[in-house]
Amino acid sequence: MNSKDQDLNLVKQPCAALPRKRREGLSAAWLITRAWLVFAVFWVIFDVIFQAFPYLSSGSEVIYRSKLNQETNGSIFPESSNARRVLVFGDSEILVGFIPEYFDSLAAADGLNYYSYNSGYPARGFFVSQLETMVQRKSGVPNILLLTVPWRPKQESFNLFHPLQADHDIADRLFPFRYLIRDTFSFLITSQGHGGPAKYYRESRLNDAKMLQDRGYYFISEQSHYPNDALPEDFHLASDQPNAVVMRTADGDSEELKELNRIIEEHNVQCYFVPAYTRVGQLGTPPKSDQAFADFLHHHSLCKVLGPDYVLYPNRMFSDAAHLNREGAKVYTKDIYELLAQEVIDNKNAF
């Protein structure tokens, strides 16, 4: 082969390779596009099923989503009422422990006009972002804010293995149906003890409607396995620490704290930390007041502390190891009201 033919081959080889590279590039692009199309189709299918059958999810998830929808898109306080608005945040202990209607009746007996709402979330105690959403609606601004758990701590620096502190919340928004298959099987199994799937589905829908009617209060009957929804007096867990006292802690540098202070100041909200609760024998008796946390709030927050960090109740007031039955909820609600009433008397402030 002469030098001229070699030169021609050198020209032809890259020219012949270009179409193949283009085909490979187009093929890869088509595979990626097809994968996204398949993902989008499945996302839409699961979301349609999820929206069409909301009560297939676990009871706690149904209640959580229903509350978020009510607080974000509905009205939790009456717009035309002159009642003082009381908003209670917390986790599932507040969900089952604070009865707004009973709280308001106690206030009415003392000549006070209150309208309260229970914003306790199952398995979720953080609240500032939701409070911010609620105050954007005129009917969602409280006069009195009651808290049992502090705000989220300051977000840590970027971590490759845990890049987002609120990744659970983000996953809820992007893939609300991600537990649909698991929950559907769980629903079908549980329904056998409730008269079948159709009857259990109607029961779940009625429970959700009752929660909304009760202004956020919800009794977690699914975890109650004892007669009269009351633990036996000798009930205890291996993890109980009857001599341990757990005190509140919080992060003074948290961005959520800054946002909470802004909301309180801008909307003239009175904010109080009130006791949580636990079983007698689960933890030790706390001091009547947590002076260290009160001092912390004095320097970092616009909230105050009322009472101890938690109160102790006997087993008969609990329906399971962590949650009050209705009898216990009435006692707890009354204890919270009396702490607030004492604050009124001591400060001569009718809130």
Is 16 inside any structural domain?
A: no
Predicted pLDDT of residue 171: 64
Q: How far apart are the first and last CA of the chain?
A: 102
Distance CA 75, CA 69 (A): 10
Residue-wise pLDDT tens digits, 289-342: 999 999 999 999 999 999 999 999 999 999 999 999 999 999 999 999 999 998
Residues 6+ apart with CB under 8 A from 277: 93, 97, 310, 311, 312, 313, 324, 328, 332
250's torsion region: left (phi>0), alpha (psi -120 to 50) or beta? Answer: beta
Here the tokens at position 139 are: 């009917």
Q: How many domains does the chain have?
A: 1
Is 328 inside any structural domain?
A: yes
Angle (deg, nearest 10), helices 180-191 and 3-52: 30
Is 29 inside any structural domain?
A: no
Amino acid letter for position 245: V
Closest C-alpha to 272, from 349, 343, 348, 217 = 343
Predicted pLDDT of residue 37: 83
Is 47 inside any structural domain?
A: no
Closest C-alpha to 283, from 248, 258, 257 = 248
Residue-wise pLDDT tens digits, 13-27: 554 555 665 656 667
Domain coverage including residue 102: 54-149+168-347
Is 155 inside any structural domain?
A: no
Q: What is the mean pLDDT of residues 32-46?
A: 79
**Is the torsion defined by CA of 293, 298, 301, 307 positive or negative?**
positive
Is 157 inside any structural domain?
A: no
Amino acid letter for position 156: E
Q: What is the DSSP string of 220-252?
A: -GGG--SGGG---TT---TT--TT--------T
- What global pTM score does this model have? 0.81
Percent of the chain with pLDDT strictly greater than 90 = 51
Is 41 inside any structural domain?
A: no
Is 241 inside any structural domain?
A: yes
Q: How many CB atoms lie within 10 A of CB 231?
A: 21
pLDDT band per the 50, 70, 90 thresholds, residue 9: low
Predicted pLDDT of residue 224: 86
Question: Which residue is associated with the tokens 């970027």?
Answer: 158
